[in-house]
Amino acid sequence: MPRSIADQTDEELGGSGSVLVRQRDDHEQLDRLLRKLDGSTGRAQEEVLTRIDRLVFSHAFAEETVLWPVIRRVLTDGDELTRRIETEHQEVNELVAALEEGGVDHPDRPARLARLVKVLQEDVRDEEDLLLPRLQERLDPAELRRLGRQWALVRRVAPTRPHPTVSRRPPGNALSGLPLSLLDRSRDLVDAVVRRVPGPLAPAGTVVSRGLAAVAAAVERTPPARRGDGPPTAR
């Protein structure tokens, strides 16, 4: 069995700019946030969840847009392997969407949070122990660094919110990525202002945020955004 990328040095993974190093760095940051989430409540919990969302969704979008097509091309079982990860990504989208819709007082919130943590941890293990070592076997360090640059660029302009009905594969994810990113990041800014400057601006900010969410929901349900997907992740 190939060695997990969690057990390798930066040099073994192709250098600091390698896509494998970038992936592992994000996974380590996620692990720190999940530990911080454990035992947190109220506003503190919401702040940590927001940071998890921003990390997880931009990370997954870059994977699905940049990495998974390469894996499907270079590995004979690449379609099966990436479909497994995409199924985990889909469940994360649905869980976070349910958490946002249900609010902090929903009776299912503890169970949804526990399941979210479990799926995220399973996703990291599948990627670090199963999928990414296989990619490492097929690409040389220069190719891994080139993929790392592409991955980092896409990650910076990726959506930051859950979009359960968007395709997990091209062309739907690529076609919807830019408009959803603009809407998500605008909403992130509005929500941050509401949290930091409570008072008379809060109701107006909430209305604006909900309006942006409604537009994003409409975008993700357009036929182009849903092209390219299939069972079990298609919705």
Q: Does some domain include residue 222?
A: yes
State whether 148 and 167 are in the same domain: no
Q: Does some domain include residue 3?
A: no
State whether 35 and 89 are in the same domain: yes
Domain termination residue (choose one: 127, 158, 189): 158
Domain termination residue (choose one: 158, 186, 209): 158
State whether 149 and 39 are in the same domain: yes
State whether 116 and 217 are in the same domain: no
State whether 205 and 144 are in the same domain: no
Say if residue 196's pLDDT is above 90.
no
Say if residue 30's pLDDT is above 90.
yes
Containing structural domain, residue 199? 160-235
Other CB atoms within a 10 A radius of the CB of residue 144 amount to: 21
Q: Give the tens place of pLDDT for each residue, 103-127.
A: 889 999 999 999 999 999 999 999 9
**Phi–psi pair at 123, nearest 5 degrees:** -60, -45
The residue that leads in pLDDT, 199 or 188, is 188
Q: How far apart are CA 21 and CA 12, in angstroms?
A: 10
Q: Does some domain include residue 138?
A: yes
Q: How many CA atoms lie within 13 A of 90 on its CB side?
A: 19
State whether 93 and 27 are in the same domain: yes
Say if residue 142's pLDDT is above 90.
yes
State whether 101 and 112 are in the same domain: yes
Q: Give the tens place of pLDDT for each residue, 31-89.
A: 999 999 998 998 899 999 999 999 999 999 999 999 999 999 999 999 999 999 999 99
Question: Would you say the C-alpha torsion 114, 48, 95, 177 has a positive or negative sign?
Answer: negative
Instruction: Report the domain count for the chain.
Output: 2
Find the angle CA(39)-CA(45)-CA(51) to the nearest 5 degrees.
Answer: 120
Q: Does some domain include residue 1?
A: no
Domain termination residue (choose one: 126, 158, 190): 158
Q: How far apart are CA 89 and CA 66, in angstroms?
A: 15
Mean pLDDT, all residues of the chain: 94
Q: How far apart are CA 17 and CA 25, in angstroms?
A: 11
State whether 69 and 152 are in the same domain: yes
Say if residue 197's pLDDT is above 80.
no
State whether 91 and 179 are in the same domain: no
Cβ(194)–Cβ(209) below 8 Å:
yes
Q: Does some domain include residue 4?
A: no
Q: Does some domain include residue 2?
A: no
